[in-house]
C-alpha cells in the first residue's frame, strides 16, 4: 500500500492520500481526541501523542500536529493509516455520519427565504480562489430564527486571511438584502479548520480539484 503526502497552507497540517476511498461522501472533522470514538482510523492516529486533530475526506486524511516535526511524525502516521486499512476495520463506526459543512444547516423560515439566503451567499466571491463562499464550504451554518433573525457561522481558507472582513461583510450584506430578513449576525470560527474537501462538487470541478 502506497500512501502519498501533500503539504498544506498550514505547516502544522499534512495531507495523506492512501490511494483508496476514505469516506464515501462528506467530511468528518475531529478537532481533538475526545471526538475520536466515531472513527477507528482516527483513534489509531490520536494514539500518536503529537497528533492534535484529524479530518477525514472522501480520499484524504488531514492530520494536525501539536508539536514535533513531520520528519519524525510521518512514519508513525503512515504506519497507523496502513495498519487500519490492512485490518479491514471500517473508517466510521456504525451510526456515525460524515458531514459536509458546505451544505449548511438552514432551519425554519419559508423555502423562499432559505433559498434567497443561499443564493445571496453565492454572490460573495472569495478573492483568493475566485469562487463563491457557499460552494467553497466557507459557510458552516445558517440558522434562520423567528422574526427574520439570521445567524451565519463561517470561516476563511486560512486564519488571518486578509479578506476576512470583506467576506464577513459581504455575507452580512448579502443576507440582509433578502426579503424577510430583519437582522443578520455573522460569527467567524476556525473550528474545524477549512479544507478543500469541504468544497461542493461544483466548486471542485471549477478549480480542477478531483
CA distance 49 to 155: 28
Inter-residue long-range contacts of 160-167, CB under 8 Å, 24+ positions, other chains counted: 161/128, 163/126, 163/127, 163/128, 164/188, 166/127, 167/124, 167/126, 167/133, 167/138
**Structural domains of the chain ordered from first start:** 4-87 (3.30.1370.70), 101-206 (3.30.300.130)
pLDDT for res 101 = 40
How do the pLDDT tens digits run along the chain, 210 residues long? 789 998 887 788 899 999 888 887 667 778 788 878 888 999 999 999 999 988 888 888 989 998 889 999 999 999 999 999 999 888 888 766 544 443 334 444 456 777 888 899 999 999 999 999 999 999 988 888 777 888 888 999 999 899 999 999 999 999 999 988 888 989 898 888 898 888 888 899 999 987
pTM of this prediction?
A: 0.52
User: 36-48 as b/e, with b when 16 or more CB fall inside 10 Å?
Assistant: bebbebbbbbbeb
Amino acid at each position: 500500500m502506497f500512501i502519498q503526502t501533500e503539504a498544506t497552507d498550514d505547516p502544522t497540517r499534512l495531507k495523506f492520500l492512501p490511494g483508496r476511498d476514505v469516506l464515501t461522501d462528506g467530511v468528518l472533522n475531529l478537532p481533538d481526541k475526545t471526538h475520536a470514538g466515531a472513527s477507528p482510523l482516527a483513534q489509531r492516529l490520536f494514539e500518536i501523542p503529537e497528533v492534535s486533530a484529524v479530518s477525514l475526506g472522501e480520499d484524504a486524511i488531514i492530520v494536525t500536529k501539536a508539536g514535533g516535526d513531520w520528519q519524525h511524525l510521518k512514519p508513525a502516521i503512515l504506519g497507523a493509516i496502513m495498519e487500519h486499512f490492512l485490518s479491514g476495520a471500517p473508517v466510521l463506526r456504525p451510526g456515525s455520519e460524515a458531514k459536509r459543512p458546505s451544505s449548511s444547516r438552514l432551519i425554519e423560515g419559508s423555502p423562499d427565504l432559505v433559498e434567497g439566503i443561499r443564493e445571496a451567499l453565492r454572490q460573495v466571491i472569495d478573492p483568493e480562489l475566485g469562487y463563491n463562499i457557499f460552494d467553497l464550504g466557507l459557510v458552516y451554518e445558517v440558522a434562520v430564527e423567528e422574526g427574520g433573525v439570521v445567524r451565519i457561522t463561517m470561516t476563511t481558507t486560512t486564519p488571518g486571511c486578509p479578506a476576512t472582513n470583506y467576506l464577513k461583510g459581504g455575507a452580512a450584506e448579502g443576507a440582509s438584502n433578502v426579503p424577510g430578513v430583519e437582522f443578520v449576525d455573522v460569527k467567524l470560527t476556525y473550528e474545524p479548520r477549512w479544507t478543500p474537501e469541504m468544497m461542493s462538487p461544483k466548486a471542485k470541478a471549477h478549480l480542477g480539484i478531483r
